[in-house]
Amino acid sequence: MADDFRKRVYELDSFFRDAVDLGRNIVALTRAFYSCRVDKAFREKLNMAVTSVLGCRYCTWLHTEMALSHGVDPQELQKILSGEIGSFPGEHSVALAFAQHYSETGAVPDKNAKRRFYEFYDHETANDIVLYIKVIYFGNLSGNTIDALIGRIKGRPNEASRLLSEIVISVLLGPYYLIILPLLAFAFHYKNKA
């Protein structure tokens, strides 16, 4: 259980930088969502690829339920969570690999990887994919930061995390992670059972 509190977390400067970036891109994100250039199942695979690297338990829980409700095969989910993306078709594996790389590099992907990614997809689809990656990246680090505060309260602090960051992010996003997200996960869970 101690490993749960060694996950990558946000510092306040990067949290606010990423939040502002997402805020600036809310119109583009809305367009991406309604354009359906990236279907729901593929979007959930991207979410799980980022989550496989960053390990937010809240994101794993919610997006597993969402992926299943959008028709993603449980074996595919297991492969993504294990980092085994080579068996996916090219149109998915390139984006899944980029999502993992983006997460592994702290949202600063290698220029060559970014170039290859943008060469593979048309510009609009590539931008949509990057927006989805940024959203789940933000969600994972935020969730991990909230968990770091919970760990600190339980006497297991994350050595890489700062108390002030944990408190501010938990106050701003805690209601979502601790109330709304579980309700969403249960809703998708029961939808899958129906």
The percentage of the chain sitting over the pLDDT mark of 90, rounded to a whole number, equals 79
Report how many domains make up the chain: 1
Tokens representing 59 are 């994101």
Residues whose CB falls within 8 Å of the CB of residue 1, separated by 6 or more in sequence, listed in order? 156
User: Residue 87: what pLDDT?
Assistant: 85
Q: What does the CA dihedral 103, 109, 115, 121 come to, rounded to 10 degrees?
A: 20
Residues whose CB falls within 8 Å of the CB of residue 120, separated by 6 or more in sequence, listed in order? 90, 94, 126
Tokens representing 131 are 């927006």
pLDDT digits (tens, 9 = 90+) for 160-180: 999 999 999 999 998 887 788
C-alpha radius of gyration, the chain, whole number:
16
Q: pTM score, two decimals?
A: 0.90
Return d(Cα 186, Cα 34) in angstroms, integer. 24
The percentage of the chain sitting over the pLDDT mark of 70, rounded to a whole number, equals 94
pLDDT band at 2 (very low <50, low <70, confident <90, very high): very low
Category of 36 on φ-ψ map: left (φ > 0), alpha (ψ -120 to 50) or beta: left
Long-range contacts (CB closer than 8 Å, 24 or more residues apart) made by 13-16? 14/141, 15/141, 15/142, 15/145, 15/165, 15/168, 15/169
Residue 192 has pLDDT above 70, yes or no: no
Return d(Cα 75, Cα 96) in angstroms, integer. 16
The CATH number linked to 75 is 1.20.1290
Task: For residue 128, give its domain range.
Answer: 2-193
pLDDT digits (tens, 9 = 90+) for 90-149: 889 999 999 999 999 999 999 999 999 999 999 999 999 999 999 999 999 999 999 999
User: Residue 178: what pLDDT?
Assistant: 79
